[in-house]
Amino acid sequence: MRFPLVHDSHDPLYRQIERYLRDSILSGELEPDTRLPAGRRLAQELGVSRITVENAYAELQADGLVITRPGSGYYVNQILPSMFVTAGGDATIVNEPLWQRELPECALFGGHEFENGNGIISFEAGSGDVSYFPVTEFRKIMQDVIRRDGTAAFEYGEYNGYAPLRSAIAHILTSRGIKARPENVLITSGSQQAIALCTQLLLKPGDTVLTENPTYSGALYLFRAYGLRVVGVPVDSEGMQTEKLESVLQQYHPKLIYTMPDFQNPTGTCLSNPRRQQLMALAERYNVAVIEDDYVGDLRYEGRAQSSLKALDPGGRVIYTGTFSKMLLPGLRIGFLLAEGPIYRVLTERKYVHDIAASNLMQRVLEVYLSIGRYRNYLRRSCKIYRERRDAMIKAIGEYLPASVSFDKPKGGLFIWLALPQGLAAEKLSRIALTEGVCCAQGKTFFTDQGAPRGAFDIRSDTGCSSAGSSAGGDMAESMPPPPDYLRLNFAMHTPEEIEEGVIRLGRAFART
């Protein structure tokens, strides 16, 4: 064991040794029950007297950080004294540097940790089920790519992305009615990075971004981390209420509109065609950039696809982002954006500054997977499986949850947005549900103010849903009841049998509230 000592310091050597070992124990570098070096050997390694080391060990023993075992030596104590333990049970160092204590408070996840394992059925995830993805086939493609390309597959590659993959993505987008050229496609490390690059480029701390309310929590985390002001526009069963958008644009003068027109996360709604036209007209009138996040646009189970905002874009107004993480494997971390004009070059430069380039190997493997038609087959199979799982969850909700819950039947995507009975808090229900063995995403995570404001979501359907209000975050008559709280339930991650069991458990939690 070697560590720096300052021999000409006013701080005694034994204190320096004691402080180094203390910090190593409290930080976890020296784990409980670790044997410390014998005093004679450590003294030789550090070039000090044996009594100096023994004095340091004695200080640690006096504080209960180390113990002695006769004939064996000093060991890190298995149970640290309570004065060194935080409420969470982890040891902490109280003498961190001042600049660390001045860091901004981290409140992205509200202290919540995703629950998995131990028999928990989680409806909380934000992606599809990877358990039936053809891993063996994908591994074979990877082996073929390595054999074909050799060391070239392990180089950085092009900063804007592997050219054949950009061509494959442009071809997919063209088939959706979006005019896309490979030279306007930028490969990113997931769509989250695409959104981050655009945000960093277009806005500065204190600027305003408009979103749907509720909206994707990952985008909210990102915008808050960059010090932006987030203003939400209410959502109803036809998506963002664009009839309220102009007044918000006039009041807040935003630099960016972030939207998910198809199977919006978390509500699952789709923006109607008239509202798409209105949004684009207002963005042009008020000179506002638009990020269109099409994270699962291909997962449609019924109805006809509508024109994307990018397809309605006369040129350069909309930055279109997509990802393969939700549709294929989250660990791929391959996303993309489509942008025209000078912004494409600047975004490419920003991408290079962040991480030089996305994984060259995975880009090449994905390109082969896309080009030989496997992706389309996988999508068709996914749509069939997820439709069955959606229907299984709807059936189970009808059988096992109170009739007072409500939701709109999603025509695609991954989620059911469940409105709870009046007065029932999602936080309370979630705590009870966890004890029953089921985990759900609380609705407050997705609202711009971390809570469901009046009029934030107007839900109308044939499932007995009622309106939660209609004003754009403004006041409502005092006689109106407060809006409901929500849970977001992912129906894609589990088999119909697991979904039924999970909803049964959720029903038991309702009964205990």
Please report which confidence band the pLDDT of residue 49 belongs to, taking 50, 70 and 90 as the band edges.
Answer: very high
Exposed, middle or buried by CB within 10 Å (0-12, 13-18, 19+), for 418? buried
Q: How many helices (H) and strands (E) does the chain have?
A: 15, 16
What are the two backbone dihedrals, phi and then psi, of residue 387, each rounded to the nearest 5 degrees? -60, -45
Least confident stretch, 95-104, 109-118, 316-325, 404-413: 109-118
> What's the mean pLDDT in 165-190?
95
Q: The whole model's pTM is what? A: 0.80
All CATH 1.10.10.10 domain ranges of the chain, comma separated, are 13-101
pLDDT surpassing 80 at residue 176: yes
- 232-236, 277-281, 448-452: segment of lowest average pLDDT: 448-452
Contact assessment for residue 111 and residue 88, using Cβ atoms and an 8 Å cutoff? no
> Is 90 strand, coil or helix?
coil
The whole-number pLDDT of residue 83 equals 58
Residue 435 CB partners (closer than 8 Å, separation 6+): 509
Mean pLDDT of 270-286: 97
Residue 171: how many other CB atoms lie within 10 Å: 13
- How does strand 438-439 pair with strand 121-122? parallel
Q: Can you tell me the distance from the alpha carbon of 270 to that of 274, in angstroms, rounded to the nearest whole number?
A: 12
Mean pLDDT of the 164-173 span: 96
Q: Give me the half-sphere count of Cα atoms (radius 13 Å) on the Cβ side of residue 316.
A: 7
Token duo for residue 365 = 């493997």
Q: Which residue has the higher pLDDT, 113 or 194?
A: 194
CB within 8 Å of 102: residues ≥ 6 apart: none
CATH 3.40.366.10 fits domain 121-131+381-512: no
Cα dihedral 20, 21, 24, 30 sign: positive
Q: Supply 338's token pair.
A: 């489509």
Which one has a higher pLDDT value, 3 or 212?
A: 212
69-107: pLDDT as tens digits: 988 899 999 876 655 655 444 545 455 677 777 777 655
DSSP state of 67: E
pLDDT band, very low/low/confident/very high, at 462 (cuts 50, 70, 90): very low
Q: What is the pLDDT of residue 98?
A: 76
Topology of domain 13-101, CATH: Arc Repressor Mutant, subunit A (1.10.10)
Q: How confident is the model at residue 478 (pLDDT cuts 50, 70, 90)?
A: very low
Q: Does residue 380 have a pLDDT over 80?
A: yes
Cβ neighbour number for residue 331 with a 10 Å cutoff: 9
In angstroms, rounded to a whole number, what is the distance separating the alpha carbons of residues 407 and 266?
12
Which residue stretches of 297-446 are H helix? Answer: 342-355, 360-371, 374-400, 426-436
Within 10 angstroms of residue 215's Cβ, the number of other Cβ atoms is: 27
Helix H, strand E, coil C: the string for 197-266 is HHHHHHCCCCCEEEEEECCCHHHHHHHHHCCCEEEEEEEECCEECHHHHHHHHHHHCCCEEEECCCCCCC
User: Would you state the torsion angle of the CA atoms of residues 439, 441, 444, 450, taken in this order, to the nearest 10 degrees?
Assistant: 110
Give me the torsion for CA of 448, 449, 450, 455, rounded to 10°: -80
Confidence class of residue 475 from pLDDT cuts 50, 70 and 90? very low
Query: What does the alpha-carbon distance between residue 168 and residue 388 come to, in Å, rounded to a whole number?
Result: 30
Residue 500 backbone zone (phi > 0: left; psi -120 to 50: alpha; other: beta): alpha
In Å, the largest CA–CA distance within the chain is: 83
CA dihedral defined by 450, 455, 459, 464, rounded to 10 degrees?
110
For CA atoms 154, 160, 166, 169, the dihedral sign is positive
Lowest average pLDDT, out of 62-66, 238-242, 439-443, goes to: 62-66
Q: Token pair for residue 301? A: 């189970």
Q: Any idea which of 207-216, 290-299, 358-367, 461-470 has the lowest mean pLDDT? A: 461-470
User: Between the CA atoms of 468, 290, 355 and 203, what dihedral angle is there, to the nearest 10 degrees?
Assistant: -90
Cis? peptide before 421, omega within 30° of 0: no
- Please give the mean pLDDT across all residues of the chain: 87
Q: What is the pLDDT of residues 414-438, one digit of tens each?
A: 999 999 999 999 999 999 999 999 9
HSE-up (13 A, CA, CB side) for residue 392: 22
Q: Which residues contact 336 (CB under 8 A, 6 or more apart)?
A: 161, 166, 169, 185, 186, 187, 188, 191, 194, 321, 322, 323
Which residue ranges does the chain devote to CATH 3.40.640.10? Answer: 135-376
Cβ-contact 338, 185 below 8 angstroms: yes
**3-state DSSP percent of the chain in helix, strand and coil, to 5:** 40, 15, 45
pLDDT above 70 covers a percentage of the chain that reads: 87
Q: Find tokens 């690059």 and name the residue.
A: 197
Residue-wise pLDDT tens digits, 195-242: 999 999 999 999 999 999 999 999 999 999 999 999 999 999 999 999
Decide the pairing of beta strands 441-442 and 239-240. unpaired
Confidence class of residue 130 from pLDDT cuts 50, 70 and 90?
A: confident
- What pLDDT, on a 0 to 100 scale, did the predictor assign at position 10? 83
List the alpha helices (DSSP H) in 450-495: none
CATH of 135-376, one of 3.40.50.150, 3.30.470.20, 3.40.640.10, 3.40.50.12140: 3.40.640.10
Q: Please list the residues that pair with 487 across neighbouring strands.
A: 418, 442
